[in-house]
Amino acid sequence: MNINIYVEDNLGKKIKERAELLGKSRNSIIREAIKEWLQHHKANQWPTSVQKFKGVSDFPPFESHRSELTNPAEDPLK
């Protein structure tokens, strides 16, 4: 797939210099950078099985016992 990108002159010069230093093409440097970025910026998402989970039909709803809760005697964070 071809993608056109535009970078600032200074950044373009740095990419060109680094590519020449490493004996690589600018395109390979940019591909590597994109791959690395994608590996470190994965979408945090629940697995499909969790997203499709409808619950257990005979299990009481989570909120059904909220009225039975009492406040702690003292602040647990102190």
Cα(35)–Cα(27) distance, integer angstroms:
12
Q: Does the pLDDT of residue 70 top 90, yes or no? A: no
Min mean pLDDT across 11-15, 21-25, 48-52 is at 48-52
76 within domain boundaries: no
33 within domain boundaries: yes
Range of the domain at 36: 9-43
What mean pLDDT comes out for the span 19-38?
95
Query: At 41, is the pLDDT very low, low, confident or very high (cuts 50, 70, 90)?
Result: confident
Q: Does the pLDDT of residue 76 top 90, yes or no? A: no
- Fill in the DSSP letter of residue 60: P
67 within domain boundaries: no
pLDDT of residue 60: 87
16 within domain boundaries: yes
58 within domain boundaries: no
Instruction: Determine the Cα angle at 43 with ends 48 and 34, to 5°.
Output: 135
Q: How many domains does the chain have?
A: 1
Token pair recorded at residue 16: 């060109």
37 within domain boundaries: yes
Residues 6+ apart with CB under 8 A from 7: 15
pLDDT of residue 62: 81
39 within domain boundaries: yes
2 within domain boundaries: no
